[in-house]
Amino acid sequence: MKTKLFLIGLIAGFTFTSCEKCKDCEYKYEFINNDSIQPLYEFAAMINNYNSWDEMWHADDSIQAFNREYCDDELSDIKDYTEEYDTDSNQVNDIRFYYDCK
């Protein structure tokens, strides 16, 4: 009897749990529309004792905290996330931040 109840419970557990779709996501950036803005970011990194903007980006623990596994609704939300900024105020966005999920 205990075996039957265990099997029924096990089957019910598999039936009512959702298939969780998860992906590892990395928070990234890319320079867009204006190649002349990248030296400004490189200079900012040099002021902070880094060799490049990319090195500074990957060394920042608060940014790296976003690099993790996301599932279900949270995954849906960040897959569509993108933010663009106009660094030099010329009405053209220069850098875009987004998640790359695999």
Domain segments of the chain: what residues? 20-101
- pLDDT tens readout for residues 68-91: 999 999 999 999 999 999 998 989
Residue 5's pLDDT is what?
Answer: 46
Q: How many CB atoms lie within 10 A of CB 75?
A: 17
* 100 touches 24 (CB < 8 A): no
Q: How far is CA 16 from the centre of its chain?
A: 30
Is residue 20 predicted with pLDDT exceeding 60? no
More confident residue, 48 or 9: 48
- What is the mean predicted confidence (pLDDT) over 54-69? 96
Residue 34's pLDDT is what?
Answer: 72
Percent of the chain with pLDDT over 90: 75
* 14 touches 80 (CB < 8 A): no
- pLDDT tens readout for residues 26-35: 999 999 987 7
Q: What whole-number distance in Å separates Cα of residue 47 and Cα of residue 40?
A: 11
Is residue 7 predicted with pLDDT exceeding 60? no
pLDDT confidence bin for 14, thresholds 50/70/90: very low
Contacts of 52 (CB under 8 A, 6+ apart): 42, 45
